[in-house]
Amino acid sequence: MVQISRSNANSLRKPFQDIVRLPMTPLNVLPEDDVDLDFSDVFGPLPTQASEHADSDDPRSAVVSPVASEMVFDNPAIICRRSHSLVGPSESVDLGEEGHGAAEEKLKELSHETAVLKKDIEDNGVSLKAIGIEDFQVLKVVGQGAFAKVYQVRKIGSSEIFAMKVMRKDKIVEKNHAEYMNAEREILTKVDHPFIVQLRYSFQTKYRLYLVLDFVNGGHLFFQLYRQGLFREDLARIYAAEIVSAVSHLHANGIMHRDLKPENILLDAEGHAMLTDFGLAKEFDETTRSNSMCGTLEYMAPEILLAKGHDKAADWWSVGILLYEMLTGKPPFVGGNRQKMQQKIIKDKIKLPTFLSSDAHSLLKGLLQKEASRRLGSGPGGSEAIKSHKWFKSINWKKLEAREIRPSFLPEVAGMQCTANFEDCWTNMSVADSPAASPKCSDNPFLGFTYVRPAASFLKSG
């Protein structure tokens, strides 16, 4: 993401008839040290600034708006202070007075495997060359989360640029989230879609896990939404269609994302939406429901908050919130502390602005049904009920998934190495502490983590 002055930002604005419409407001987000567990932002958290309108009860839910309880659609406010991804209830590792030493002992208890070696693996009988940290040159830091750091890297001996997500095993074990990290890696190996960021390689050393993904450098959808304001319906329709296509692919493969929000949608250099961050994703079957409290509050479905158990319909609620935010500039349920926001999500009726088309009203009402069984996309037809909705009438889904429909907005990207759409506080950070190969050890708590994506993958030839 890019820091821009108000004067420069105004010069980037497009007229009402063009892409967007909305006066600029200061960006205002939660400091990183206020984050306990943040699976969001695979490509880096949002910038940090002090809040001028923080709610006294709960600083996580402050809104840049003169009156938080009012819906002002002629000049909609942007949510600039965001809740963070969470998951619970979950058994934690009690470190007590032993601190990180206990975490290391916990790692030894999880499994006993021989030293971590770089060796070839097989995929359907085809030998694939394994990859290690020594195969990459670190270029820039592009993000940092609760227990992960993300680097822009170049594969040595080639011009290929990737994003390398590096996670500390001790931090993962402290939070008792090894299963989520293993699930993220496992799920990423199963998805192959034009609007989902692809995992290229995964490997580990004694102390760290590594995910090497496509480097997508057009910025978060949230950043562009903040920068541009709210999107015109024709542009929002393309983004929404690409997101629906990606989520449909996940559901068809038995995967719920469970943390859909603008920060987890990236734009590539051609302006296409790319879904990322599978830290809270989960595999499911049609006969079971999940009981975890997970996601980001503004985008959580009512059934998650009510602990009724949830299924893939919870993703369609989040898509509805995303679409509402793209079209109006903010999510429908905002303001107050976390408890008040939860009550709004569970009880308040959706307020639809009059400047939206009747077809947009219809789609939003269908996606934002509080009763999951009545929600659009939850029936036997699944995502086809959404794709065939009249708001998407102009979308040719085959052309869309062939990436033949181009969004009218193009992010400013000057080549694959460009990091202009990432926050300066990360890209200016020294890479002196870049990841290095750990010494060989006799313990490995993450079995079978190594992965090399076959060359036949969708984006490999793109």
Return the CATH number at 357.
1.10.510.10
In a domain, 100, yes or no: yes
In a domain, 227, yes or no: yes
Together in a domain, 197 and 326: no
In a domain, 247, yes or no: yes
pLDDT score for 104: 47
Together in a domain, 290 and 431: no
Together in a domain, 392 and 371: yes
Together in a domain, 271 and 125: no
H helices of 350-396, where? 358-367, 384-387
Confidence label for 239 from pLDDT (cuts 50, 70 and 90):
very high
In a domain, 148, yes or no: yes
How do strand 230-231 and strand 20-21 relate by DSSP bridges? antiparallel
**Which residue(s) pair with 143 in the sheet?**
150
Together in a domain, 103 and 131: yes
- The 3-state DSSP class for residue 283 equals strand
Together in a domain, 175 and 232: no
Domain final residue pick, 377, 401, 425: 401
CATH code for position 205: 3.30.200.20
In a domain, 52, yes or no: no
pLDDT score for 89: 39
Count of residues making up the chain = 462
Check pLDDT > 90 for residue 118: no
Together in a domain, 119 and 177: yes
What's the one-letter identity of residue 4? I
Confidence label for 433 from pLDDT (cuts 50, 70 and 90):
low
pLDDT digits (tens, 9 = 90+) for 133-150: 899 999 998 887 766 888
Together in a domain, 434 and 332: no
Together in a domain, 337 and 212: no
- In order of 164, 263, 269, 330, 407, the CA distances from 410 in angstroms are 25, 18, 7, 22, 7
Together in a domain, 202 and 223: no
Catalytic residue numbers?
Answer: 259
* Mean pLDDT for the chain overall: 74
pLDDT digits (tens, 9 = 90+) for 314-361: 999 999 999 999 999 999 998 888 999 999 999 999 999 999 999 999
**Which residue(s) pair with 137 in the sheet?**
154
In a domain, 73, yes or no: no
The reply to whether 308 sits in an annotated binding site is no
Domain count, the chain: 2
Check pLDDT > 80 for residue 440: no
- Name the nearest CA neighbour of 421 among 225, 218, 279: 218
pLDDT > 70: percent of the chain:
67
Together in a domain, 185 and 260: no
pLDDT digits (tens, 9 = 90+) for 173-212: 888 778 888 889 999 999 999 999 999 999 988 888 999 9
pLDDT > 90: percent of the chain:
44
Span 58-85, average pLDDT: 38
In a domain, 378, yes or no: yes
Check pLDDT > 80 for residue 431: no
Confidence label for 7 from pLDDT (cuts 50, 70 and 90):
very low
Together in a domain, 210 and 228: no
Q: What is the Cα gyration radius of the chain?
A: 22
134: containing domain: 90-217+417-461
Determine contact, residues 61/338, Cβ cutoff 8 Å.
Answer: yes
In a domain, 34, yes or no: no
